């Protein structure tokens, strides 16, 4: 059976409990038993209960649309800690954490995310000077300049 990604995306939007959750990614594999993977996020964070609720709602809608005999695997999850941001709304929850940025011009920056604004983020960049770390004053990094952003995971 062939699943229509656009139709599933529409059903997924109807399955969200409210505007606080948003879809980061939706993939539909082309396997014999397709795997549908939904990655959700929220500006405040959310738990497994919300994932389970969305999963049940989406599965019910898919069964209505494709029939209960349709064979697929459904996974509803949150982005992993090592996953890059794909939506501007993901930055809000990470204010105060250290980010690693790859910019459109090929440069890289690492620093504390101090604030999120409509046009970009305020980043206090950390630079190394003679075996010491120096933190520069926060500067605005426009969203348009960011190619990839990830949270730096620290085990200290």
- Secondary structure (DSSP) of 16-60: SSSTTEEEEEEEE--SSS-EEEEEEEESS---HHHHHHHHHHHHH
> Which strand (E) or helix (H) includes residue 5?
helix 5-15
pLDDT band at 31 (very low <50, low <70, confident <90, very high): confident
Q: Kindly report, residue by residue over 58-85, the tens digit of the pLDDT.
A: 999 999 999 888 899 999 999 888 889 9
Per the CB < 8 A criterion, the answer to whether 91 and 115 are in contact is: no
| Residue 24, pLDDT score | 93
């Amino acid at each position: 059976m062939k699943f229509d990604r656009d139709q599933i995306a529409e059903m997924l939007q109807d399955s969200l409990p409210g505007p606080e959750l948003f879809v980061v990614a939706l993939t539909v594999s082309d396997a014999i038993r397709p795997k549908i993977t939904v990655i959700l996020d929220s500006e405040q964070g959310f738990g497994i209960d919300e994932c389970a609720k969305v999963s049940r709602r989406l599965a019910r809608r898919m069964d209505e649309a494709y029939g209960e005999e349709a064979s697929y695997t459904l996974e509803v999850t949150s982005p992993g800690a090592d996953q890059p941001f794909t939506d501007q709304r993901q930055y809000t929850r990470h204010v105060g954490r250290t980010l690693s940025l790859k910019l459109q011009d090929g440069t890289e920056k690492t620093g504390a995310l101090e604030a999120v604004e409509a046009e970009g983020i305020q980043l206090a960049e950390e630079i190394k000077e003679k075996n010491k770390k120096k933190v520069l004053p926060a500067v605005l990094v426009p969203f348009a300049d960011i190619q990839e952003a990830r949270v730096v995971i620290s085990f200290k």
